[in-house]
Amino acid sequence: MKRRDFLKASLVASAAAVGTSLSAGATGQPIDNRKVAKLAFPEKKPLITYSDRPPLLETPREAFAHAITPNDEFFVRWHMPEIPTFIDVETYRIKINGLVENELSISLAELKRDYEQVEVTSVLQCGGNSRSAFQPVAGGIQWGSGAMGCAKWKGVRLKDLLNRAGIKKGAHWIGFNGSETAAYYETPNFVREMQLDELDDYVIVAYEMNGEDLPYLNGFPVRLVIPGHYSDSWVKMLSNITVTKDYEKLFFMDVAYRVPDNSCECETPEEKYKTTKPITTMNVKSVIGYPTNNTVVAHNSHVVVRGVAFDDGHGIRDVLISTDGGKSWKTAILKDADRYAFREFRFAYKPTTYGKVTIMAKAINRLGAEQPFAHEVKWNHGGYKYNGIDSVTIEVI
């Protein structure tokens, strides 16, 4: 399909395909019984669909049995309903302005030709992933566990672009804007900022995902990649980079995507904590990709539990598996992985009892941080950063 025809295609998959209640389950686990849509968005397989304008698509659990998430199964999260229906790759430019010596207008051809090309394997995760597990219900899209994915991103270091522009003395902040716009003119643009001293060699402007052009719905033609950080900062269809001296007040920095500014990042449903801070780096998390809920297995058969674990880049040290409600834990086998990528785990399990069995997975990173039990996860009004121990319930016959 030609890029110009992308949004002319029928985006008929709709939120009605969810097909289940949007309230949290009694177990404190993310809702995991939604059906994938019958029809697919362009460049995607049928996915769990919450909205078609803006597109909001969730990856099914079974995709997380492997370390790399295929492009056509990768989740989609847009904030604004107006996404360009036509992008001309010949005229598309990334502009760099503000406190720089030389303002730049970089074409895609120049991006690929005039700078060192690098590749980073990294998890992309929405800050509201697994929000449906919070009890009581927190505001926002009631994602299950599939508002995340891991890909190999190829592009150019943001530092190299800024060095070419020449940062002026006194500059401290960088603002990023993309091409999505609101339907109502008073709605603020989706602009994000980061401090210059947060930059490292892993932050890139990417034009490829898993060896292919970025899918349209994942930010074609270029997007920002900030490994270890939640996806709200990974601006899609990146069009403008502005260097400033001072922090600019922005809705999507000062109001949205914030948690209480206290040690637990928590508050009560009855009263909001007075001071807040933006969500930034991800906490430790694991998700079981196989078996999925309601999988039927034979008694005394050989089952290989598979899944992925990750954090903000410190690295996963262990993944532990329990089949007795968390009374005892056994160590899973981990595959090697880059620091910001999914670390795949496997665990050999032989069911010796009949009936329902719940399999639990708990990740621990190299700093000793570990996933808490679901009832220990601290609540916040935005429903951000849920990372309770993951579980699936199977039937042994």
Task: Give the distance between the most distant pair of CA atoms in the chain.
Answer: 70
Please give the full DSSP string across 211-277, using - where no structure is assigned: TEEPPGGGTTT-EEE-TTB-GGGS-SS--EEEEESSPPP-HHHHTSSEEESSTT---BTTB--S-EE
Percent of the chain past pLDDT 90, that is, above it, reads: 77
Locate tokens 């410190």: which residue? Answer: 314
Q: Where are the domains of the chain?
A: 3-77, 93-278, 285-396
- Do 93-278 and 285-396 have matching folds? no
Residues 6+ apart with CB under 8 A from 272: 260, 381
User: 93-278 belongs to which homologous superfamily?
Assistant: Oxidoreductase, molybdopterin-binding domain (3.90.420.10)
Given a cut of 90, is residue 12 above it in pLDDT?
no
**Confidence class for position 271, pLDDT limits 50, 70, 90:** very high
Per-residue confidence (pLDDT) for residue 247, from 0 to 100: 81
Per-residue confidence (pLDDT) for residue 186, from 0 to 100: 53
Residue 380 tokens read as: 């916040």
Given a cut of 60, is residue 46 above it in pLDDT?
yes
Please give the full DSSP string across 336-363, using - where no structure is assigned: ---TTS-EEEEEEE---S-EEEEEEEEE
Q: What value does the mean pLDDT of the chain take?
A: 89
pLDDT tens figures, 357-374? 999 999 999 999 999 999
Residue 149 gets which letter from DSSP? E
Q: Phi and psi (nearest 5°) for 281?
A: -85, 150
pLDDT tens figures, 273-332? 999 998 999 999 999 999 999 999 999 999 999 999 999 999 999 999 999 999 999 999
Residue 97 tokens read as: 């302005």
Residue 359 tokens read as: 């399999």
Global pTM? Answer: 0.91
Q: Give the CA count within 13 Å in the CB-facing half-sphere of 300.
A: 0
Q: CA 170 → CA 95, 243, 244, 290, distances in Å? A: 20, 10, 8, 51
Amino acid letter, 221: P
Closest to 174 measured CA to CA, from 242, 238, 237, 106 = 242
Q: Which CATH class is domain 285-396?
A: mainly beta
Residue 116 tokens read as: 């060192």
